């Protein structure tokens, strides 16, 4: 049977290649044999062109059936033999929420590999496992996967930093394309899964995310934010997309005209858009944009959202919204058809209508889940994402044949954390276990470096006891302190603590109930095989010191935004024996139990004792993935938890060969650690999945030379960052492209155990036209004595532009492997089109004539070689303000934001306050200008616009316009003022008094 299937697939592949080369796959399918088979319906016939099959099926569906296909949970249509279908399998860095599966490093770690080929392999492995789970649970696990995340990491405080691929759109675009291609598979027609890019657009803050607006002027929009999505969609690697929760310039993202105007019309072919969970109802509840759910559904569908994710599996509620919209003429059947027409092609391409004989992925089964092959790939990926931040005096690698002791210290040394979008770890290797595998057991000394405490109940006068079984309540009945009465107290900063019982080494938790037990192997969310999730964490406690010196425990239950559950629970002690610990929501401050703390072991002193006689001290620190930063929670600061910084300093004070292993979801500001002379090396890993400890130990002891690179800038302190809601990377001087300060570690930084020489940089031409490309070639030689990877990076810089351009901009990278004394030649193809910027005066990308630095090096700051390239593009013409000009197409500004012009149109300049201004530079006027006309709206009558030349405050005042009260910020009127003696070339400033909104202006 298998041979027959393989034969049929071989025939299909040969014929499909012929079709692809003659007609194109989008408009044609292929005959599976020379003998025509009779099909009940044309849409079942794989020999027909795809668009014909889609139209045939669409024509057979009733209106109710078509509407039913617009919810996340699409029901079966038995009369046509159509099975159910659903979107939303999570696959960020492994198949998630489905039980045990291969867990790869966090997504931000995938990008730190700077290895497209490897990440495509990872995506393919994840796609295989999703297919396997789909085969096991076809009703519950869909083939539409919600991954990867391509939101740009422009601020390291953003809660979902771990999910993204970096601060640079080129790197993010290339890594997301590779991951998507792996998820999709390599068949030219059938797809393994349907990759869905998240979250479109300008989403990089968690606080108030359901109602906040990201202000993106045209250059930030086109040169930065859109670019990260463009690569994967244009290449056809990604086949779906999810809008973000936030607004873009005042308009909710799932209503953005960019979805239709740019994504679907310019970039995509077979492609559908699926809303994020609860985002349709969010238009009513969070954005307060419309009053009814029918309006919300109608506006979303008309804007380009094809599948509505809301009300979980309760599709009937959402379908009623759509039917109400049809009844109220907010939608037409043609609107429904358009959305269904976007969804169906991808369902056909999953093979569901054609059967396993044609579907090349149909045979994938549970044997691939956490297979040996995938375990090896997880290890390779965990190794390649490691970044060596510091290595003074070649402190690393350590000698494996050392006879001395090695101290392993730290709160993350003996545990591996998964994160919000992880699968269940099938096994773990900790850093401690990894180190022990390299040395004899007696050579390794260990300390968690945290206080070990006992807690005595004020109510009972007895100590809190945990059970070795872990599944019964903690009680407060012990007369003395033994093993079962001691707990490791982990301080992750910002009043977030974990208690790990020594009775069974599990965490204290009040999961799902009032019962306080020690039954959690790792802090995390709860899950089942069908993917049902709980969004709260129940293991983290505020450890609140009272005035009398006692402590109370309060679990805030960090959770999901739409559960309706607010606040948390204090721990109390029952009044009857056995005196059980209970977490009750009704408890309030003053009624919570007070515990006297006894420090059984001082963690820092123990760590120093272990470290002082060791040859090397390895301190393992970092974040806990679900506490201070994750979905719904932004970071309060970018520093290490203060207790961890102090631990490192205490250890380094007694051991001059201290190695720091940092395991973190995001950058850490730690200049004191970097500058500490006794901290000889710092090795960084994201939370690395099941093979985390193996990879780290391999790097520490030289079995692997770390060569990953940072995908975002690491700052020295939060003071170097603007407000988290500042989305203008140009004016806010964000990311390596515009940051003028001194970084702790620059974008692209990463060391290794050998040295490389860059030489013989050459260009195929030193002068190119705007429609040509240049070949950039460089030789790289490993001049050390250790084999290693090297990541060669290509940057460009416009030496003299008419607008502010990036300090450097990544335009190529290649990870290569070199043996000692080996030389390899690396070649980049650089199209002149990649040097374009968005010309706001003409609303298009332009390649400006000029000279560009071609920079090749090891990071954005470590440039090894440079050449000049002249580009013959175009000269940017003087600006013509005698034509109607959109206010948002400014060259510079102060204070204003971009807002929604109207529900039916795009953008305007708003949130204006007195003293704000906008600039339109290099304007040229002919004689005869006599009138200044503006389109404005206001809710006040104090607005004034001054037109000044060459300076916003002291420049010549040409004319003044008074803005009347139009009784609404989207009630637009035209206002005119006379102009005299305006000619020549000028920078034009519009300066503002009062508050109002400006849409367009014109100098006639």
Answer positive or negative: Cα dihedral of 135, 136, 137, 141: negative
The region, left, alpha or beta by phi > 0 then psi within -120 to 50, assigned to residue 520 is beta
Cα 741 vs. chain centroid, distance in angstroms? 25
Alpha-carbon distance 122 to 111, whole Å?
12
Q: Tell which residue, 67, 84, 65, has the closest CA to residue 75.
A: 84
Count of Cβ atoms closer than 10 Å to residue 89 Cβ: 25
Q: In what order do the strands lie in the sheet with 917-925?
A: 892-894, 917-925, 984-993, 943-949, 956-963
**Distances 477 to 340, 458, 465 between C-alpha atoms, Å:** 63, 11, 7
Gyration radius from the chain CA atoms: 30
304 is written with which tokens? Answer: 């380009």
Q: Which of 217, 276, 798, 916 is catalytic?
A: 276
Alpha-carbon distance 541 to 560, whole Å?
17
162 is written with which tokens? Answer: 């771990």
Q: Tell which residue, 167, 164, 209, 160, has the closest CA to residue 732.
A: 167
Cα 528 vs. chain centroid, distance in angstroms? 25
Give the strand pairing for 517-520 and 507-509: antiparallel
Count of Cβ atoms closer than 10 Å to residue 563 Cβ: 11
Question: How many residues are recorded in the chain?
Answer: 1004
Alpha-carbon distance 1000 to 902, whole Å?
13
Give the strand pairing for 679-685 and 387-391: antiparallel
Q: Tell which residue, 387, 406, 308, has the closest CA to residue 746.
A: 387
For residue 663, the SS3 value is strand
Alpha-carbon distance 284 to 297, whole Å?
10
Please, how many CA atoms are within 13 Å of residue 50, restricted to the half-sphere of its CB? 25
| CA angle at 121 for the pair 118 and 122, rounded to the nearest 5° | 90
- Maximum Cα interatomic distance, the chain, rounded to a whole number of Å: 97
Which ranges of 328-368 does DSSP label H, i.e. alpha helix?
333-349
- Is 354 an annotated catalytic residue? no
Residue 397, preceding bond cis, omega within 30 degrees?
yes
| 684, β-bridge pairs | 387, 662
303 CB contacts (<8 Å, ≥6 apart)?
254, 255, 256, 257, 259, 260
Alpha-carbon distance 97 to 277, whole Å?
16
Alpha-carbon distance 849 to 864, whole Å?
26
Alpha-carbon distance 892 to 882, whole Å?
19
Q: What is the DSSP letter of 628?
A: S
Q: Tell which residue, 615, 483, 499, 493, has the closest CA to residue 553.
A: 499
Scanning the structure block, which residue is given the tokens 């954390």? Answer: 417
Contact 253, 203 (CB under 8 A): yes
Alpha-carbon distance 91 to 856, whole Å?
34
Q: Tell which residue, 945, 939, 1004, 930, has the closest CA to residue 972.
A: 939
491 is written with which tokens? Answer: 């301080």
| 984, β-bridge pairs | 925
Which stretch of DSSP H or E encloses residue 145?
Answer: strand 144-146
Q: Which residues are catalytic?
A: 276
């Amino acid at each position: 049977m298998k041979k027959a299937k393989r034969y049929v697939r071989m025939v299909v592949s040969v014929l499909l290649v012929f079709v692809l080369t003659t007609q194109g796959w989008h408009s044609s399918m292929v005959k599976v044999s020379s003998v025509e088979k009779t099909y009940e319906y044309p849409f079942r016939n794989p020999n027909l062109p795809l668009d014909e099959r889609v139209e045939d099926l669409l024509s057979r569906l009733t209106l109710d059936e078509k509407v039913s296909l617009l919810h996340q949970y699409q029901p079966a249509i038995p009369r046509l033999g159509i099975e159910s279908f659903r979107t939303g399998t999570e696959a960020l860095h492994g198949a998630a929420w489905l039980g045990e599966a291969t867990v790869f490093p966090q997504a931000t770690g995938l990008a730190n590999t700077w290895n497209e080929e490897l990440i495509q392999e990872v995506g393919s492995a994840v796609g295989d496992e999703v297919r396997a789970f789909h085969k096991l649970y076809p009703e519950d696990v869909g083939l539409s996967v919600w991954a990867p995340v391509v939101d740009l990491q422009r601020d390291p405080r953003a809660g979902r930093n771990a999910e993204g691929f970096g601060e640079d759109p080129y790197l993010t675009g290339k890594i997301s394309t590779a991951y998507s291609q792996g998820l999709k598979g390599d068949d030219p027609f059938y797809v393994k899964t349907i990759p869905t890019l998240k979250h479109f657009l300008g989403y990089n803050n968690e606080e108030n995310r359901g109602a906040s607006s990201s202000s993106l002027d045209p250059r930030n929009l086109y040169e930065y934010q859109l670019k990260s999505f463009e690569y994967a969609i244009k290449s056809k690697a990604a086949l779906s997309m999810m809008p973000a929760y936030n607004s873009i310039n005042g308009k909710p993202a799932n209503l953005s005209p960019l979805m239709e105007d740019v994504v679907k019309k310019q970039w995509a072919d077979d492609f559908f858009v699926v809303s994020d969970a609860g985002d349709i109802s969010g238009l009513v509840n969070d954005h307060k944009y419309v009053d009814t759910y029918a309006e919300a559904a109608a506006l979303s569908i008309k804007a380009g959202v094809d599948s509505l994710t809301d009300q979980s599996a309760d599709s009937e509620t959402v379908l009623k919204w759509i039917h109400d919209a049809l009844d109220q003429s907010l939608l037409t059947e043609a609107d429904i058809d358009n959305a269904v027409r976007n969804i169906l092609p991808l369902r056909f391409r999953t093979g569901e209508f054609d059967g396993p004989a044609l579907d090349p992925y149909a045979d994938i089964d549970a044997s691939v889940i956490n297979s040996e092959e995938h375990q090896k790939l997880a290890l390779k990926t965990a190794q390649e994402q490691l970044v060596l931040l510091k290595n003074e005096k070649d402190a690393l690698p350590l000698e494996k044949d050392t006879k001395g002791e090695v101290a392993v210290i730290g709160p993350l040394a003996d545990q591996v954390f998964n994160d919000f979008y992880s699968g269940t770890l099938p096994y773990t290797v900790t850093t401690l276990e990894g180190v022990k595998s390299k040395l004899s057991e007696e050579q390794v000394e260990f300390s968690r470096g945290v206080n070990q405490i006992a807690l005595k109940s004020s109510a009972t006068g007895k100590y809190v006891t945990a059970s070795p079984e872990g599944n019964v309540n903690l009680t407060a009945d012990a007369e003395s302190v033994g093993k079962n009465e001691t707990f490791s107290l982990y301080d992750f900063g910002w009043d977030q603590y974990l208690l790990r019982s020594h009775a069974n080494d599990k965490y204290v938790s009040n999961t799902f109930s009032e019962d306080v037990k020690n039954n959690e192997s790792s802090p995390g969310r709860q899950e089942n095989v069908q993917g049902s999730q709980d969004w709260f964490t129940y293991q983290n406690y505020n450890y609140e010191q009272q005035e009398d010196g006692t402590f109370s425990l309060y679990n805030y239950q960090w959770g999901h935004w739409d559960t309706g559950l607010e606040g948390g629970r204090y721990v109390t002690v029952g009044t009857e024996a056995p005196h059980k610990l209970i977490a009750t929501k009704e408890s309030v401050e003053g009624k919570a139990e007070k515990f006297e703390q006894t420090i059984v072991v001082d963690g820092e002193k123990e760590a120093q004792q272990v470290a002082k006689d060791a040859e090397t001290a390895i301190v393992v620190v970092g974040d806990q993935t679900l506490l201070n930063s994750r979905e719904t929670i932004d970071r309060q600061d970018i520093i290490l938890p203060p207790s961890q910084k102090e631990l490192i300093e205490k250890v380094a004070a007694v051991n001059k060969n201290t190695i720091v292993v940092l395991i973190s979801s995001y950058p850490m500001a730690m200049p004191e650690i970097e500058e500490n002379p006794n901290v000889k090396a710092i090795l960084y890993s994201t939370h690395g999945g099941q093979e985390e400890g193996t990879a780290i130990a391999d790097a520490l002891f030289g079995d692997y030379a770390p060569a990953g690179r940072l995908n975002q800038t690491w700052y020295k302190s939060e003071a170097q960052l603007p407000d988290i809601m500042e989305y203008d990377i140009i004016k806010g001087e964000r990311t390596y492209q515009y940051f003028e300060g001194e970084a702790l570690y620059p974008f692209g930084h990463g060391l290794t155990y050998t040295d490389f020489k860059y030489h013989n940089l050459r260009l195929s031409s030193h002068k190119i036209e705007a429609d040509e490309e240049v070949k950039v070639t460089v030789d790289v030689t490993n001049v050390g004595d250790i084999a290693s990877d090297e990541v060669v990076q290509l940057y460009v810089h416009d030496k003299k532009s008419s607008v502010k351009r990036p300090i450097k901009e990544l335009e190529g990278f290649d990870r290569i492997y070199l043996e000692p004394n080996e030389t390899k030649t690396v070649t980049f193809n650089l199209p002149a089109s990649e040097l374009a910027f968005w010309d706001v005066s003409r609303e298009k990308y332009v390649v400006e004539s000029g000279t560009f630095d071609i920079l090749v090096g090891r990071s954005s700051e470590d440039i090894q070689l440079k050449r000049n390239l002249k580009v013959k593009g175009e000269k940017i013409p003087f600006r013509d303000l005698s034509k109607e000009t959109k206010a948002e197409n400014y060259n510079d500004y102060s204070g204003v934001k971009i807002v929604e012009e109207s529900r039916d149109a795009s953008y305007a300049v708003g949130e204006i306050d007195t003293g704000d201004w906008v600039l339109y530079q290099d304007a040229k006027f002919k004689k005869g200008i006599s009138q200044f006309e503006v389109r404005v709206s206001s809710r006040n009558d104090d607005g004034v616009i001054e037109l000044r030349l060459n300076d916003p405050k002291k420049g010549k005042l040409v004319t003044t316009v008074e803005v009347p009260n139009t009784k609404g910020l989207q009630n637009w009127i035209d206002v005119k003022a006379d102009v005299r003696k305006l000619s020549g070339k000028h920078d034009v400033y519009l300066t503002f008094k009062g508050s109002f909104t400006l849409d367009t202006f014109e100098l006639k």
